[in-house]
């Protein structure tokens, strides 16, 4: 290859690599966050991106200019030492790095700022589901985190068994959930909506099945949800099928692992089922909460979610399973 073609090839290569690198930079979910804190993080990201893009453009501009301008000249420059230039290319990068450092610290402080009136929610990552407890409200649920729009919320995240990571991209960032350690994550939702995520720290068989959903609601809707979740299930259900289901639930081993408030079932191994009928899915988003899926889940949860830490109840009669399904679907 002659020099000219080699030069053209290298310029093309540089452009191609640059384009490929930039193509991955479309605004991602995290850069379109729906929380005050997420916006602060994406602002920082955009500032760093624009600054580094300018630096990259200048460096590549000079490089390409030099490649074209001095192409073919065999005479190396004899110029050595230029104090003014050296000062400039030391001071500018130092200033840029200092600026980015200050911006990062400011962003960290803003994101970590705890609001005194924040609603505290304990979030525990278990194999393979997320437990949410609102201590001040007396509410416990799983998989679906409900938060009021515009009100500060503080998640206190921890791990029940191994390390997981709480990651709903639309929140703007993620947080490790570590056994015996509590990390805090402040959120103020800026708009209503349903936002999905998944565990982001490899934790075992159902790592990919550890989904979570954040439901940000206008405050009055959130309050209505809280009121409904605060009700216990002590009242006997209406139909005899559901009452049979209740008796089956309490006489089988379900109660060792699950809580249904207002009954003798107070187990803490699996998700709280007091309002399972009002949740959209079973098994942390694995399947929709329909009677057919619930039946299949009780018979053999591992066929739906391999590695699940709940035994199958295939030994129960069809009658008992139908009754259990009716009871659980009725727990709104």
Choosing among ligand HEC, Cu ion, none, which partner's interface includes residue 203 (Cβ < 5 to 8 Å by kind)?
A: Cu ion
Q: How far is CA 75 from CA 81, 85, 208, 263, 328, in A?
A: 18, 22, 60, 90, 85
Query: Nearest approach, Cβ of 197 to ligand HEC (angstroms)?
Result: 15
Choosing among ligand HEC, Cu ion, none, which partner's interface includes residue 275 (Cβ < 5 to 8 Å by kind)?
A: none
Asked if 270 is part of the footprint of ligand HEC (rule: CB under 6 A), the reply reads: yes
Termini Cα distance of the chain = 75
Three-class secondary structure of residue 70 per DSSP? coil
Q: Which of residues 180-199 bind Cu ion (CB under 5 A)?
A: 199
Choosing among ligand HEC, Cu ion, none, which partner's interface includes residue 164 (Cβ < 5 to 8 Å by kind)?
A: Cu ion
Asked if 203 is part of the footprint of Cu ion (rule: CB under 5 A), the reply reads: yes
Contact map string, positions 289 to 328, toward ligand HEC, x by CB under 6 A: --------xx------x--xxxx-x----------x---x
Asked if 294 is part of the footprint of Cu ion (rule: CB under 5 A), the reply reads: no
Asked if 90 is part of the footprint of ligand HEC (rule: CB under 6 A), the reply reads: no
Q: Is the peptide bond before 128 cis (omega within 30 degrees of 0)?
A: yes
Which two structure tokens, joined as six digits, stand for 116?
């005194």
**Chosen residue from 40, 146, 213, 258 binding ligand HEC by CB under 6 A:** 258
Which two structure tokens, joined as six digits, stand for 60?
């590549």
**Chosen residue from 42, 107, 125, 128 binding ligand HEC by CB under 6 A:** 128
Asked if 210 is part of the footprint of Cu ion (rule: CB under 5 A), the reply reads: yes
What residue has token string 């003014």?
84
Number of residues that bind ligand HEC (CB under 6 A): 30
Choosing among ligand HEC, Cu ion, none, which partner's interface includes residue 188 (Cβ < 5 to 8 Å by kind)?
A: none
CB 264 within 8 A of CB 247: no
**Chosen residue from 41, 155, 199, 254 binding ligand HEC by CB under 6 A:** 254
Instruction: Choose between 173 and 249: whose C-beta lies nearer to ligand HEC.
Output: 249
What residue has token string 């703007």?
172
Q: Tell me how crowded residue 81 is: count the other CB atoms within 10 A of its CB.
A: 6
The CA distance from 313 to 295, in Å, is 10
Query: Nearest approach, Cβ of 217 to ligand HEC (angstroms)?
Result: 19
- Window of 85-93, 188-196, 224-232, 269-277 that interacts with ligand HEC by CB under 6 A: 269-277
**Chosen residue from 44, 118, 142, 260 binding ligand HEC by CB under 6 A:** 142
Which two structure tokens, joined as six digits, stand for 101?
């450092």
Element (H, E) at 125: strand 119-126
The CA distance from 256 to 268, in Å, is 8
The CA distance from 188 to 266, in Å, is 32
**Chosen residue from 269, 288, 292, 302 binding ligand HEC by CB under 6 A:** 269
The CA distance from 229 to 278, in Å, is 9
CB 60 within 8 A of CB 14: yes
Give contact residues for ligand HEC (rule: CB under 6 A): 128-129, 142-143, 249, 252-254, 256-258, 269-271, 273, 276, 279, 282-284, 297-298, 305, 308-311, 313, 324, 328
């Amino acid at each position: 290859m002659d020099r000219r073609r080699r030069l053209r090839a290298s310029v093309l290569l540089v452009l191609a690599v640059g384009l490929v690198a930039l193509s991955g930079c479309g605004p991602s979910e995290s850069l379109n966050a729906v929380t005050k804190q997420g916006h602060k993080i994406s602002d920082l990201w955009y500032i760093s991106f624009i600054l580094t893009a300018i630096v990259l453009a200048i460096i590549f501009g000079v490089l390409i200019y030099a490649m074209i301008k001095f192409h073919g000249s065999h005479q190396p420059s004899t110029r050595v030492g230029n104090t003014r230039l050296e000062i400039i290319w030391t001071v500018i990068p130092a200033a840029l790095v200092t600026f980015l450092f200050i911006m990062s610290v400011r962003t960290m402080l803003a994101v970590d700022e705890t609001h005194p009136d924040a609603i505290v929610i304990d979030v525990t990552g278990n194999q393979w589901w997320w437990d949410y407890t609102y201590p001040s409200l007396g509410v416990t649920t799983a998989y679906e985190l409900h938060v009021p729009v515009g009100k500060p919320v503080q998640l206190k995240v921890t791990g029940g068994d191994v390390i997981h990571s709480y990651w709903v991209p639309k929140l703007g960032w993620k947080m490790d959930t570590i056994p015996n350690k509590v990390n805090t994550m402040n959120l103020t939702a800026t708009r209503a909506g349903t936002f999905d995520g998944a565990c982001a720290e490899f934790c075992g068989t159902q790592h990919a099945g550890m989904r979570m959903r954040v439901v940000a609601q206008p405050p009055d809707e959130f309050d209505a949800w809280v009121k409904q979740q605060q009700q216990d299930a002590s009242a006997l259900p209406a139909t005899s099928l559901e009452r049979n289901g209740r008796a089956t639930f309490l006489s089988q081993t379900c109660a060792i692992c699950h809580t249904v408030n207002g009954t003798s079932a107070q187990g803490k191994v699996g998700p709280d089922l007091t309002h399972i009928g009002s949740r959209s899915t079973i098994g942390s988003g694995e399947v929709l909460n329909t009677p057919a899926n619930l039946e299949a889940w009780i018979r053999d949860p591992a066929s739906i979610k391999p590695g699940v830490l709940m035994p199958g109840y295939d030994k129960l009669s069809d009658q008992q399973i139908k009754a259990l399904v009716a009871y659980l679907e009725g727990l709104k």
